[in-house]
Amino acid sequence: MLIAAAPIQDGQVLLFSRHTTTALAINENEARLLEDIKVYLRKLAPESGHYLHNDLHLRDVPEDEPINAHSHLMAMTLSTSEVIPLVQGKLALGTYQSLCFSSWMDLAKDGVLSNLCT
C-alpha cells in the first residue's frame, strides 16, 4: 500500500474517486449491511426510473454510452472522497470501520460494494 511506503507517519490521508458513478464511504464491512445499502440505494434511485440524463437521443454522446443516471444519483448520495487520520503510519479507522469503494454502473445486476481497507 502506498501509505506504508510514504515517509509521513502522522497526518491525514485524502482518498478521492475520479469517476462520477463511483463513491467512497466509511462504514462496517458486514455482508448483510452491504446488501442493505444496495437495497436502500436502489429504492432511492431505481434503474427503471425516468431520468432526463438517459434520453441519449437528445445528448451528444458516444454510441456505447450506457443508460446510467441511476448510477450517478447513487454515487451522489454517498461521497467521492474521504479524509482519514494517519497515526504512526496506519489509517486510524475505528474498530468496525472499513473504507468501502462502490461502483454503481451495474448495481441492478451485480452492484459492487467492496471493502478496500480493514
Boundaries of domain holding 40: 2-49+66-117
The total number of residues written for the chain in this structure: 118
pTM: 0.81
CATH of the domain at 74: 2.60.120.460
Give the model confidence (pLDDT) of 36-87 as tens digits.
988 999 899 999 999 999 999 999 999 999 999 999 999 999 999 999 999 9
More confident residue, 111 or 4: 4
The whole-number average pLDDT for the span 4-19 is 89
Q: How many domains does the chain have?
A: 1
The whole-number average pLDDT for the span 100-105 is 81
Is residue 90 one of the residues assigned to a domain? yes
96 phi-psi bin (left φ>0, alpha ψ -120 to 50, beta other): alpha
Is residue 72 one of the residues assigned to a domain? yes
pLDDT higher than threshold 90 for residue 3 = no
Is residue 34 one of the residues assigned to a domain? yes
pLDDT higher than threshold 60 for residue 118 = no
Burial class (CB in 10 A: 0-12, 13-18, 19+), 74: buried
Is residue 24 one of the residues assigned to a domain? yes
Is residue 12 one of the residues assigned to a domain? yes
